[in-house]
């Protein structure tokens, strides 16, 4: 064997060693609102118009308990949280709707007073490799074997980390980066915490601004200088250094109302951050310029009329799309923040795939919407007839299938073009 071949095989062996030694290398994270937490699903060859009665219903189950939590879909499984008899369960189904297992995760949120009208699961699980992470509505973060549902470890964000329970419970979806899982207890001392995702041991804890959490699932922004965590708390949007929890910057949420929540994960694109709030005469939809080192932000504009609490929003091209408290789906251009088109009535959760928007309205209508020539246009719609309680869950698209959760029901629709 000549020297060139020896070097080649040595390089090949070294590459295999590196790949197998790093369990997180090249593994895909399946999580809340898609691969980048921005509501965009990288799917193609989807229907551009639905039949009159809606797309084909492939399967449905009505045994997942109470809740509003969206599912997460891998290439083999569908996982989601639900509440039964005051217990939180993580359910696993195959892609044909057959239940594979269900595992308990302590008590689930039932609430008191006004909040008692909205019991059930809130959080979308996060899957990385052969592990799935799930959070109950009262803040129990647990780690499970994906294949069997066996619990590996768990931590109570209130009892173990000194967190504060929000009026409507905890709803964040666990954020994973490498060997770390991040969570937001919202405590005075342990406001945001980084844990070893294999053991649950604390890596760092940050007091941040010592504010209570506000339903938001954090975003990880990977900059050349550092990685930062961006999330919405009760009174501020904040940015932290992902390495050590150091708070880098914050911006105040104006005219906060007590029963308001800031549930939408911020969106990062091309050096800018976008976030939305729902307060009357508050911040509305905001564009921030993030410094290259991630240490500061500068406000570029705010549109106070673009108010959205928990329906999510999508940035696609030079526009942001979101539903508002005026029951309108609006298109906002990103240079100056001006609204250029609106479509009524629309009030609900919004995602994007293959050039079209999918809006799951809070009255049960699911709509397919196009944007072209600066105009929003409804193409198709159908009505969700299965399930219980409010239509609050966010849709998910995977491998040509549209998944919608409505209370105790999960439905899978074929939206792939033939």
pLDDT one-digit tens code per residue, 176-199: 999 999 999 999 999 999 999 999
Looking at residue 19, its pLDDT comes to 42
Does the pLDDT at position 8 exceed 60? no
pLDDT tens figures, 314-361: 999 999 999 998 999 999 999 999 999 999 999 999 999 999 999 999
Count of Cβ atoms closer than 10 Å to residue 113 Cβ: 7
**What's the pLDDT score for residue 366?**
98
* Residues above pLDDT 70, as percent of the chain: 93
Dump pLDDT digits (tens) for 146-165: 999 999 999 999 999 999 98
pLDDT tens for 279-303 read 888 999 999 999 999 999 999 999 9
99 SS3 class: strand
* Lookup: tokens for 189: 């001392």
Query: What's residue 39's pLDDT?
Result: 97
Section 295-313 average pLDDT: 95
Q: What whole-number percentage of the chain has pLDDT above 90? A: 86
Residue range 28-413, CATH number: 2.130.10.10
* Confidence grade of residue 51 (pLDDT, cut at 50, 70, 90): very high
CA distances, 97 to each of 57, 120, 304 (Å): 12, 21, 43
Buried/exposed code over 337-370 (b: 16+ C-beta within 10 A; e: otherwise): bebebbbeebbbbbbbbbebbbbbbeebbbbbbe
What average pLDDT does the chain have?
A: 93
- Strands of the sheet containing 175-177, edge to edge, are 175-177, 180-183, 192-196, 202-206
Rounded to an integer, the average pLDDT of 27-33 is 94
**Cβ contact 304:287 at 8 Å:** no
Residue 14 has pLDDT above 60, yes or no: no
Provide mean pLDDT across the span 24-43.
88
CB 190, CB 205: distance < 8 Å: yes
Would the pLDDT of 11 be above 90? no
What band does 259 get if pLDDT is binned at 50, 70 and 90? low
User: H or E element: which one contains 19?
Assistant: helix 3-21
Q: Would the pLDDT of 397 be above 80?
A: yes
Residue 68 has pLDDT above 70, yes or no: yes
Q: What's residue 302's pLDDT?
A: 97
CB of 324 closer than 8 Å to CB of 307:
yes
| pLDDT band per the 50, 70, 90 thresholds, residue 15 | very low
What is residue 26's predicted lDDT score, i.e. its pLDDT? 52
- CA separation (Å) from 247 to 166, 293, 295, 326, 351? 22, 13, 9, 35, 31
Convert the pLDDT of each residue in 212-232 to its tens digit: 998 999 999 999 999 999 999
At residue 13 the predicted structure's pLDDT band, cuts being 50, 70 and 90, is very low
Give residue for tokens 């639905």. 50
Q: Is the pLDDT of residue 204 over 80?
A: yes
Chain segment 120-145, per-residue pLDDT in tens: 999 999 999 999 999 999 999 999 99
pTM for the full predicted model: 0.92
Average the pLDDT over 384-402 and give the result.
Answer: 97
Report pLDDT for 207.
97
């Amino acid at each position: 064997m000549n020297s060139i071949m020896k070097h080649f095989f040595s390089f090949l062996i070294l590459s295999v060693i590196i790949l197998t030694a790093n369990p997180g290398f090249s593994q895909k994270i399946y999580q809340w609102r898609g691969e980048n937490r921005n509501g965009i699903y990288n799917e193609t060859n989807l229907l551009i118009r639905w039949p009159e009665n809606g797309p084909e219903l492939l399967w449905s189950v009505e045994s997942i308990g109470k809740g509003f939590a969206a599912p997460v879909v891998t290439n083999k499984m569908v996982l989601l949280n639900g509440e039964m008899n005051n217990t939180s369960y993580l359910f696993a189904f195959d892609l044909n709707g057959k239940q594979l297992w269900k595992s308990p995760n302590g008590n689930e949120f039932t609430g008191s007073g006004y909040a008692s009208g909205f019991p059930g699961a809130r959080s979308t699980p996060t899957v990385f490799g052969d592990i799935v992470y799930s959070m109950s509505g009262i803040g129990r973060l647990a780690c499970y074997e994906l294949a069997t549902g066996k619990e590996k470890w768990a931590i109570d964000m209130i009892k173990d980390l000194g967190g504060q329970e929000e009026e409507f419970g905890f709803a964040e979806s666990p954020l994973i980066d490498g060997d770390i899982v991040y969570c937001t207890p919202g405590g005075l001392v342990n406001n945001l915490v980084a844990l070893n995702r294999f053991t649950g041991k604390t890596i760092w804890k940050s007091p941040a601004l010592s504010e209570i959490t506000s339903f938001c699932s954090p975003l990880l922004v990977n900059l050349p200088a550092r990685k930062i965590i961006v999330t919405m708390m009760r009174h501020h949007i904040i940015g932290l250094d992902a390495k050590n929890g150091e708070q880098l910057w914050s911006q105040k949420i104006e005219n906060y109302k007590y029963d308001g929540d800031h549930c939408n994960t911020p969106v990062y694109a091309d050096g800018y951050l976008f976030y939305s709030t729902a307060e009357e005469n508050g911040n509305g939809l905001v564009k921030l310029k993030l410094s290259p080192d991630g240490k500061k932000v500068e406000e570029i504009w705010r549109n106070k009329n673009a108010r959205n609490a928990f329906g999510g929003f999508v940035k696609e091209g030079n526009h942001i799309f979101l539903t508002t408290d005026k029951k309108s789906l609006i298109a906002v251009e990103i240079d100056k923040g001006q609204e250029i088109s609106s479509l009524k009535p629309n009030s609900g959760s919004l995602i994007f795939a293959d050039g079209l928007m999918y809006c799951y309205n809070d009255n049960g209508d699911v709509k397919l919407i196009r944007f072209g020539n600066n105009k929003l246009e409804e193409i198709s719609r159908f009505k969700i007839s299965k399930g219980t309680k409010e239509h609050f869950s966010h849709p998910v698209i995977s491998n040509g299938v549209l998944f919608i959760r409505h209370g105790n029901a999960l439905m899978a629709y074929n939206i792939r073009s033939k």
